[in-house]
Structure 1
Amino acid sequence: MPSLVGKNIVVTGASGGIGAEIAKLCAKRGANLTLLARSVDKLEQLKRELEQQYSIKVFVHRLDVSDTDEVERVFHTIYKEMKTIDILVNNAGFGVFREAHEAKINEIKSMFEVNVIGLMACTSMVLPKMREHRTGHIINIASQAGKIATPKSSVYSATKHAVLGYSNSLRMELAAHNVWVTTVNPGPIATNFFNIADEKGTYVKNVQRFMLQPDFVANKVVDAMLTKTREINLPRWMNLGSVVYTLFPRAFERIGRKAFNQK
Structure 2
Amino acid sequence: MDLLGKTIVITGASSGLGSELAFQAAEKGANLALLARREEELKRLKERLVEQFPIKCHYFVVDITNEHKLREVFLQIEDQFNGIDVLINNAGYGVFETVEQTSLDEMKKMFEVNVFGLISCSKFSIPSMRLKGKGHIINIASMAGKVATSKAAAYASTKHAVLGFSNALRQELINDHIFVTNINPGPMDTPFFEIADDSGSYAKSVRKIMLDPQKVAGKVISLIGKNVFDVDLPWWMGTGSKLMALFPRISNKLLIKFGNKK
Provide the secondary structure at the position in 2 that maps to 1:100: coil
Deviations 1:91-132 (A, max 9, x none): 000000000111111111110000000000111101123224
Distance 1:173 1:107 in 2: 31
Within a 5 Å distance, the mapping from 1:63-142 to structure 2 comes to 63-142=62-141
SS of residue in 1 equivalent to 2:100: helix
Distance (whole Å) between structure 1 residues aligned to residue 245 and residue 27 of structure 2: 39
Residue of structure 2 equivalent to 1:206: 205
The gaps in structure 1 that reach 5 residues or longer are: none
Q: Aligned partners of 2:74 and 2:98: how far apart in 1?
A: 36
1:180 aligns with 2:191: no
CA distance 1:241–1:62, shift in 2 (3 Å): same
Q: Could you tell me which residue of structure 1 aligns to residue 214 of structure 2?
A: 215
Q: Report 1:218-233 matches (<5 A).
A: 218-233=217-232
2:147 alignment partner AA: I
Instruction: Summarize deviations over 1:123-173 as a string: whole Å, max 9, x none.
Output: 110112322432000000000000001000000000000000000000111
**Structure 1 residue 251, shift from structure 2 partner:** 2.4
Amino acid in the other structure paired with 2:69:
E
Letter in 2 for 1:31: A
- 1-structure distance, mates of 2:17, 2:254: 32
Q: Per the alignment, in what secondary structure is the counterpart of residue 182 of structure 2?
A: strand
Identity of aligned residues (%): 46
Tell me, in whole angstroms, the C-alpha distance in 2 between the residues paired with 1:5 and 1:258: 47
Paired residue for 1:11? 10
Aligned to 2:59: 60
CA positional deviation for 1:250: 2.7
Q: Give the whole-Å Cα distance in 2 for the aligned partners of 1:46 and 1:185.
A: 25
Decide whether the 8 Å contact of 1:220 with 1:232 is kept in 2.
no
For residue 259 of structure 1, report the CA deviation from its aligned partner: 2.6
- Give the whole-Å Cα distance in 2 for the aligned partners of 1:31 and 1:149: 35
**Whole-Å Cα distance in 2 between the matches of residues 71 and 101 of structure 1?**
33
Whole-angstrom distance in 2 between the partners of 1:164 and 1:256: 20
Which aligned runs of 4 or more in structure 1 are off by greater than 4 angstroms? none
Cα separation, 2, equivalents of 1:222 and 1:208: 25
Cα distance, 1:247 vs. partner?
Answer: 2.6
Aligned length: 262
1:21-60 counterparts in 2 under 5 A? 21-60=20-59
Normalising by structure 2, report the TM-score.
Answer: 0.97
- Contact kept, 8 Å, 1:221 with 1:232, in 2: the verdict is no
Are the structure 2 counterparts of residues 55 and 255 from structure 1 closer, same or farther at C-alpha, using a change threshold of 3 Å?
Answer: closer
Superposition CA RMSD, Å: 1.0
Deviation string 1:156-212 (CA, Å, 9 cap, x unpaired) is 000000000000000111111110000100001001100000022111111111100
Letter in 2 for 1:150: T
Shift of 1:83: 2.9
State the 1:248 CA deviation.
2.3
Does 2:250 correspond to 1:248? Answer: no
Separation in 2 of the partners of 1:213 and 1:119?
Answer: 23
Secondary structure of the equivalent of 1:101? coil
